[in-house]
Amino acid sequence: MENIADPELRNLIRKVHSRTGIDLGQYKDSYIARRLSTRMKVLGAMTYGSYARMLDAHADEYDKVVDAFTINVSEFFRDRDAYRVIREKVIPAIVADKVSTGRRSLRVWSAGCACGEEVYSISMILHDVLGKEYDRFAIRLYATDIDDAIMKRAQEGLYDPVSLKNVEKSFLERFTKATPDGKIAVNDTVKRNVTFRHYDLINGGPFGGYFDLILCRNVMIYFSEPQKKKLIGHFFDALNPGGYLVIGKTETLTADTRAAFIPAYGLERIYRKPERSLV
């Protein structure tokens, strides 16, 4: 917030923060300007000051401005290459480690989960890789987002077919069902052990730990560099030694956080926390 020079914009951000708890000031400057301008155009506001006044006059505008920042676009198995590596390398390596150490708790966090497409994709992979062994593990998949409305939909698990276009046929047959109104529903097998929780990645503080796999994809692109650095630090702390962090295809770690991780599968943006401290 200190970096924002325009007093009208600061006032607007403060207003939205105190009303909704969401701190727009932590997003990138260019992103703030773009997102706000979409709302301002709709209402015909020429300045941040006039938009701030309009917020009070339009009861649902606070929700709309927050919606404009939390773009919920996602799909199952988004970026096939990353999911292929997760399925063929990452999950088998995690499982092999669990078997060899006898520690059978396996925890995944989908941070910025949108409508649940990411966490349900991982759930399908876990069932596929583990097969009959699935029940011999204590599996927990946490999926968090700042947007409560979208998480409600995630819990229902109903999707337009297009969002499952990357799902292979055998997975569709095993894990989903077509509904009479043309949607696709994920079944209870996939939903098992998945918990959705409201969590603000900017102001939420540390989430707690012991994760074997954290996915935070296509979320941090909107965050400022200091915010990104803080968040990646939280992910590092939340991972078990040897745990994996997956970020989006077009995203990068910050220069100083990169040094803390091992690039396990660099092209797919999959990083690993070292087994032992590097320093």
Ligand X SMILES: C[S@@+](CC[C@H](N)C(=O)[O-])C[C@H]1O[C@@H](n2cnc3c(N)ncnc32)[C@H](O)[C@@H]1O
Residue 123: CB minimum distance to ligand X, A: 14
Which one of 191, 217, 234, 272 is in contact with ligand X (CB under 6 A)? 217
Q: Give the C-alpha distances (Å, rounded to integers) separating 181 from 76, 106, 151, 177.
A: 20, 36, 21, 12
From residue 147 to residue 166, what is the string marking binding to ligand X with x (rule CB under 6 A)?
Answer: x--x----------------
Binders of ligand X among 87-116, rule CB under 6 A? Answer: 112, 114
Asked whether position 70 contacts ligand X by CB under 6 A, the answer is: yes
* Cβ contact 211:107 at 8 Å: yes
Residue 164, strand partner residues? none
Q: Which stretch binds ligand X (CB under 6 A): 3-11, 32-40, 72-80, 249-257?
A: 72-80
Asked whether position 251 contacts ligand X by CB under 6 A, the answer is: no
* Cβ contact 144:112 at 8 Å: yes
Q: Which is nearer to ligand X, 95 or 190 (CB)?
A: 190
DSSP character string of 136-165: GSEEEEEEEES-HHHHHHHHHTEE-GGGGT
Q: Which is nearer to ligand X, 95 or 253 (CB)?
A: 253
Binding residues (CB under 6 A) for ligand X: these are 70-74, 78, 112, 114, 117-118, 145-147, 150, 200-202, 217-219, 248
